[in-house]
Amino acid sequence: GENVEQHPSTLSVQEGDSAVIKCTYSDSASNYFPWYKQELGKRPQLIIDIRSNVGEKKDQRIAVTLNKTAKHFSLHITETQPEDSAVYFCAASRKTGNQFYFGTGTSLTVIP
Amino acid sequence: EPEVTQTPSHQVTQMGQEVILRCVPISNHLYFYWYRQILGQKVEFLVSFYNNEISEKSEIFDDQFSVERPDGSNFTLKIRSTKLEDSAMYFCASSEALWQYFGPGTRLTVT
């Protein structure tokens, strides 16, 4: 089955700096890669996603890149703010209705 | 914006007891899922459900677990005889297509 690895497990940045979280996957059949943000005690919320036919996608301060050949994808947050502090999970999936395979999470702390 | 809802928010039960966790998926969604998250760990898939049957399940989803869609709105997860290691946050999710929307979770504590 699919194995998703995520690094780093913890990340601290100064407010205004950029944060990068990286994930790798093992199943070449995976073609959909969402990112979730989970604040303490709350539900995971989808913040951005990318499909395998696209190399990069951007939404305001958040961007995701995908390298299918190397089987890795990354989340980039620019101009970080304290409210970006949360645990971020990457995931991989094959198609609609299939399970998401989650990474182990990155705890991001933005220091004011 | 419609959201997935779950009840109860917290369930405490004794080892060996049966529990039923309830979810109301978003109304036009066709795919339903249960995941669990042990404290401090990653989210793990349990089961997916489509067209009134299980479409995929993980190794965690053994004979102690079952799912049901008893009516047009609810989606339930039953654990027949709970074990200490079943203590976790259980998330229901639903999707119309690729995006999966998560509920707020039920924290299950088995004592």
Q: B65 has which bridge partners?
A: B79
Residue A80's Cβ-side half-sphere holds a number of Cα atoms within 13 Å equal to 21
pLDDT digits (tens, 9 = 90+) for A83-101: 999 999 999 999 888 899 9
Mean pLDDT of B35-59: 93
Distance from CA of A112 to the nearest CA of B (A): 25
pLDDT digits (tens, 9 = 90+) for A27-48: 999 999 999 999 988 899 999 9
Distance from CA of A99 to the nearest CA of B (A): 6
Mean pLDDT of B57-71: 94
Note whether B42 contacts A104, CB cutoff 8 Å.
yes
Distance from CA of A43 to the nearest CA of B (A): 5
pLDDT of residue A96: 80
Alpha-carbon distance of A64 to A32, in angstroms, equals 12
Place of tokens 């205004």: A16
Alpha-carbon distances of B28 from B2, B25, B71, rounded to whole Å:
10, 8, 14
List the single residue in A43, A49, A93 with the smallest CB-CB distance to B102. A43
Note whether B98 contacts A99, CB cutoff 8 Å.
no
List the single residue in A34, A42, A96 with the smallest CB-CB distance to B31. A96
Q: A interface mutation test: which of B45, B61, B91, B96 has the most A CBs within 10 A?
A: B45
pLDDT of residue A82: 96
Decide if pLDDT at A53 tops 90: no
List the single residue in B41, B48, B104 with the smallest CB-CB distance to A43. B104
Alpha-carbon distances of A81 from A107, B54, B108, rounded to whole Å:
14, 42, 33
pLDDT of residue A86: 97
Inter-residue contact B51 to B108 (CB < 8 Å): no
Alpha-carbon distance of B46 to B92, in angstroms, equals 10
Inter-residue contact A88 to A108 (CB < 8 Å): yes
Place of tokens 């007891």: B17
Q: What is the amino acid identity at position B15?
A: M
Looking at per-residue confidence, does B78 or A42 come out higher? B78
Task: Provide the mean pLDDT of chain A.
Answer: 95
Mean pLDDT of B25-29: 93
Decide if pLDDT at A80 tops 90: yes
DSSP codes, B19-44: EEEEEE--TT--EEEEEEE-TTS-EE
Mean pLDDT of B7-14: 97
Inter-residue contact A103 to A89 (CB < 8 Å): yes
Decide if pLDDT at B88 tops 90: yes
Looking at per-residue confidence, does A41 or B44 come out higher? B44
- Which residue from B minimizes the CA distance to A107? B40
Alpha-carbon distance of B49 to A97, in angstroms, equals 8
Looking at per-residue confidence, does A97 or B10 come out higher? B10
Note whether B56 contacts A99, CB cutoff 8 Å.
yes
